[in-house]
Structure 1
Amino acid sequence: MSKIVLVTGASSGIGKAVATYLQQKGYQVYGTSRNPKNLENFTFELIALDVLDNDSIKAAVKYIIDKSGSLDVLVNNAGMGITGPIEDTPTAEMKAVFDTNLFGAIDVMKAVLPQMRKQKSGTIANVTSIAGYMGLPFRSLYSGSKGALELITEGVSMEVKGFGINVVSIAPGDFATNIAAGRYHTPIFEDSAYKIDYENNLKIIDADVDGGKDPIEMAKVIYKITNTKNPKIHYKVGNPLEKFSIVLKRILPDRIYEKILMNHYKL
């Protein structure tokens, strides 16, 4: 039977690539967007879901189950980026990124788990980030939100394993998407103590994204996971250097690793 799949944040970027690829593989895919009415040219059904609105989440999940009778895979992809020095970034924006990247993802998991428990099967794939394995300058809030989701994934995996449900994380590195357009950028304040370093780092960050991998690589990994009986808990999808940076963090003294990152970001 064709798997029933929910992909959040599927209007562009990684989410759209994953949803399109899984649809091509014969899955019945429901992608989500906060405002799908004005979006066109999608091979899969695009429905409304806002991860910050629990009623919206429940309505979308109910719609899928009522229409298809089951829900086999959740790709928890919806999220937002944020950049800025901690000192200059408004606390409200800090809370917004955690509400979206962490609590939004948790609320979607909570909405699909009752159906998956009923089925005694299901796969939840939380899209995190390689940035979640390390604190990055001027992206510490993004790193923190994705790192927290990595740990939540580990805990939930153990809680639901007995119901036949697999929970995994997939951490992408830099991918060639329009993520920068939807990212919250703390303004570069003329009187900021971080003005020069932050300005330079924004250029480095954007260059890394522009030179990133094709999002189809994420889609292929997720397809493989959905066809694996006992998948790993953590997957990393990125270039060799990005994945090696996680290994280095495990084996190097903290300050040496910090120095390597500071050299990369010209600090």
Structure 2
Amino acid sequence: MMTPRKMLPFTAGALLLLLPWFGGLTSGELSPSKFTMCQKFFYNKTPPEGFGTGCQAICQRYKNKYRFATLYDPQNRTALFSAYLMSSSDEPRPEDETWMYEPQLASEKEREMKPFPDPVGQKVIDSQAVLADYTNSGYTKGHLAPSQHLNTEDDLKSSFTLTNIVPQKAESNNGPWSNLETEVLRRFKNYCNGQMYVITGTIPYKSVRLLNNRVSIPEYIWSAYCCPSFRPDPNVKGFFPTYAAVGRNDPNTDYAVERMSLERLEKVLLKRLNKKISLFYQNCQVSKS
């Protein structure tokens, strides 16, 4: 039996700290056409609305197949979000974790992720995060689309691209945030009848902090899901069709993760980004016949 967890103190006072940021984004809206080849990862084939157009929409391709989607900010060498379809697969984490980069960010013609070359070319270094950024940094490589939520062995391997990774403290990555990922997976297996669409993203510090003077470090990591078809059950009332969470990633805090409604998460993003964000088409609502 799953019952809603007690809300943590991420209330009005805390929200006032979420001042507008994201100067790296230009004005305008993210066009759905930017994700033309991988719209299947978004509910109703509609990417989130409200993010600016200054970032790169990446259909994350591995072994000639699209695995998930990412909106990437090359200026701050960080992912704003990754979107994927939840899977109930019990495929184990790959023993061979081959870390990859995104050639298209380095102005290469290839549109499929590749293992990092040795040595790493300057165009790659300039355009995105590289492994050297994380060496002795005090931060782990935090997945936005986590391998445990994906399906086949190749899907899991594809999550090990640094365009799907953000600097995350181990106490968050291996603690409360990992617990949230397990909780959402369990809820999907037990109650979701069809597809579950998940979007996981980042909130930077109001005064930007950089890993290795290059990669934006998130102060918060957020996640939301949309499961339009689910099994009614009083034990999970309020968890469907949408639910969300925000987790702290600051070493001066307890790395708490607060569960919340999709509406409340979008208010947090509005406060932080100074933009009205809509994560799911019509808030994942399905009209009743």
In the superposition, the TM-score normalised over structure 2's length comes to: 0.30
The structure where strand makes up a greater share of residues is: 2
The structure where helix makes up a greater share of residues is: 1
